[in-house]
Amino acid sequence: MSCEARLAEKLSELKLELPPPAEPKGVYKPLAMAGKLVYTSGHLPVRPDGTLVTGRVGAELDVQAGYRAAQLVGLGILSTLRKRFESLDNVVRLVKLFGAVNCTPDFIQQPAVINGCSELFAHVFGPENGVAARSAIGTSALPLGVPVEIEAIFEVG
Amino acid sequence: MSCEARLAEKLSELKLELPPPAEPKGVYKPLAMAGKLVYTSGHLPVRPDGTLVTGRVGAELDVQAGYRAAQLVGLGILSTLRKRFESLDNVVRLVKLFGAVNCTPDFIQQPAVINGCSELFAHVFGPENGVAARSAIGTSALPLGVPVEIEAIFEVG
Amino acid sequence: MSCEARLAEKLSELKLELPPPAEPKGVYKPLAMAGKLVYTSGHLPVRPDGTLVTGRVGAELDVQAGYRAAQLVGLGILSTLRKRFESLDNVVRLVKLFGAVNCTPDFIQQPAVINGCSELFAHVFGPENGVAARSAIGTSALPLGVPVEIEAIFEVG
């Protein structure tokens, strides 16, 4: 089964559409390449209708809401990749994820939040190519008040 | 026009001189190479006289002061690059920026702060080679109390 | 003297054993490769008995305790590398470190904390190959309440 087919399957299961590709909030590009590596910019949780999820995990949002926001970030990254490479099947594998969770100081389940993105990528790219190195940190503030921001490094063919 | 000429033009416009190359605050080097990629250490906002800008965005500093601090960080990165590669014209392009803004929890304009560095690089390296992938996050504390810390990946020839 | 011998020397001096290799707290791998580069996941401070160091620097922990936690993180990264590459002597050099310190907002000595890891790597891999680019930031929250999380990029042969 292709990555595109697995994404279609996942979107159907989640009753979601892919959000629009990221629009930079400053002077940067959604992704940049160096050799076979693709560096994505930090992506925010954008709903399919283009609106942003906002709020802090541990306050306005609970872990499950944070997980779903991270899933939206992942879908946004896939949208950015597909815009650039036409098909996700041109992506060889995920190399690295870095996720920052906007949370209260006592919140310690950042990995459970970022899993929303990681499980999506594991589904779409498979358990070998879609699972990679990762860091998850908490923080006190993120752009536009979003609960989670994630950047990724992928390898392309 | 060369990168060096565009930098000279920018410094003249800003009435600034390039700050001294970064001196590590711990056990690290200002930059390290892997193949054609140059990884810079996180740079802090150093004024041309060697003093650091300190303060938190949203409290002691406003967005514009944060922007100018990020511009100083960018100048410091250029100073580090020039020390190592003699001329900025030996740098092919920017690949990735990561910026952390020391700010109050309600501050959400991190991208506008990091633009201080990004717009400098876009001017010096040009709109294609000087604009790349980027993440901007907020945080609650940075080394020595600075408002912004930025690390970069560049490609050299 | 080999890296393995220098590590054995350091462990003897510290009266420590190498902690067990990292077990992912989410959907990721302890490390991933891209060409000759090894990206490690963010590692947490694990004691040789497998328990985690927790607490915030500037509150429950002082700088020295933070330094020792960062040293444990470094040992954990070495444990992960050794599990994958059999011997640390197969690692060519450190390229980049990124460290986040869970600290109070007024704490500004993040570099002194991350030095716990950096000085270990400088000892094991040597002052040229074990010292690289680095960023250290403070933050308000980390997974499982640990005081420090560090990710690294290494080059292998």
Q: In the structure, what pLDDT confidence band is assigned to residue B124 with cuts at 50, 70 and 90? A: very high
Q: In the structure, what pLDDT confidence band is assigned to residue C100 with cuts at 50, 70 and 90? A: very high
pLDDT in tens, A143-157: 999 999 999 999 998
Residue from the list B95, B137, B138 with its beta carbon closest to the beta carbon of A32: B95
Nearest to C113 by CA among C143, C154, C147: C147
Residue in this structure with the two tokens 């400098």, named with its chain if needed:
B120
pLDDT in tens, A18-72: 998 888 878 999 999 999 999 999 999 999 999 999 999 999 999 999 999 999 9
* Minimal-distance CA residue of chain A relative to C105: A140
- For this complex, say whether ipTM is above 0.90: yes
Check residue A22 and give its pLDDT.
Answer: 84
Q: Is B78 exposed, middle or buried (0-12, 13-18, 19+ CB in 10 A)?
A: buried
Residue B10, both tokens: 């920018």
Mean pLDDT for chain B overall? 96
Q: In the structure, what pLDDT confidence band is assigned to residue B26 with cuts at 50, 70 and 90? A: confident
* Minimal-distance CA residue of chain C relative to A57: C141
Residue from the list C36, C112, C139 with its beta carbon closest to the beta carbon of B140: C139
Q: How far apart are CA B91 and CA B81, in angstroms?
A: 8
* B81 touching chain C per CB within 8 A: no
Q: In the structure, what pLDDT confidence band is assigned to residue B115 with cuts at 50, 70 and 90? A: very high
pLDDT in tens, A86-113: 999 999 999 999 999 999 999 999 999 9
Give the whole-number percent of chain A exceeding pLDDT 90.
93
Angle subtended by helix axes B110-129 and B3-14, to nearest 10: 140
Would you tell me which residues 18-37 of chain C have a C-beta closer than 8 angstroms to some C-beta of chain B?
A: 35-37
CB pairs under 8 A between B and C: 95
Higher pLDDT, B38 or C20: B38
Nearest to C120 by CA among C136, C131, C104, C108: C131
Check residue A157 and give its pLDDT.
Answer: 87
Question: B123 φ, ψ to 5°?
Answer: -70, -45
- Report the amino acid identity of residue C120: L
Chain C residues whose beta carbon lies within 8 Å of the beta carbon of residue B32: 94-96, 132-133
* Minimal-distance CA residue of chain B relative to A42: B135
- Look at strands B133-139 and B91-102 and give their pairing: parallel
Residue B84, both tokens: 């190592």
Question: A79 φ, ψ to 5°?
Answer: -65, -40
Q: How far is A54 from chain B (nearest CA, A)?
A: 11
Residue C40, both tokens: 């490690």
What are the angstrom distances between the C-alpha of A106 and each of A9, A112, A132, B31? 36, 15, 27, 35
Check residue A18 and give its pLDDT.
Answer: 93
Q: How far apart are CA A155 and CA A127, in angstroms?
A: 15
DSSP element (H, E) containing B157? none
Give the whole-number percent of chain C exceeding pLDDT 90.
93
* Cβ within 8 Å, pair C29-A110: no
Q: In the structure, what pLDDT confidence band is assigned to residue C22 with cuts at 50, 70 and 90? A: confident
Residue C149, both tokens: 């999380």
Chain A neighbors (3+ CB pairs < 8 Å): B, C
> Is the pTM for the entire model greater than 0.90?
yes
* Cβ within 8 Å, pair C143-A110: yes
* Cβ within 8 Å, pair B143-C37: no
User: Other C-beta atoms within 10 Å of C9: how many?
Assistant: 13
Domains in chain C: ranges and CATH: 3-19+31-156 (3.30.1330.40)
Nearest to C144 by CA among C52, C80, C62: C52
Q: In the structure, what pLDDT confidence band is assigned to residue C87 with cuts at 50, 70 and 90? A: very high
Cβ neighbours of residue C15 under 8 Å, at least 6 residues apart?
Answer: none
Residue B16, both tokens: 């600034």
Chain B neighbors (3+ CB pairs < 8 Å): A, C
For residue A1, pLDDT over 90 is answered with: no
Q: How far is C27 from chain A (nearest CA, A)?
A: 6
Interface with chain B: mutation pick from C93, C108, C115, highest number of B CBs within 10 Å? C108
For residue B98, pLDDT over 90 is answered with: yes
Q: In the structure, what pLDDT confidence band is assigned to residue B1 with cuts at 50, 70 and 90? A: confident
Residue C109, both tokens: 């000595």
Check residue A74 and give its pLDDT.
Answer: 98
Q: In the structure, what pLDDT confidence band is assigned to residue B23 with cuts at 50, 70 and 90? A: confident
Nearest to C71 by CA among C123, C108, C36: C123
Chain B residues whose beta carbon lies within 8 Å of the beta carbon of residue A34: 36-37, 95, 153, 155
* A41 touching chain C per CB within 8 A: no
Mean pLDDT for chain A overall? 96
* B132 touching chain A per CB within 8 A: yes
Q: How many helices (H) and strands (E) does chain B have?
A: 3, 5
Check residue B157 and give its pLDDT.
Answer: 87
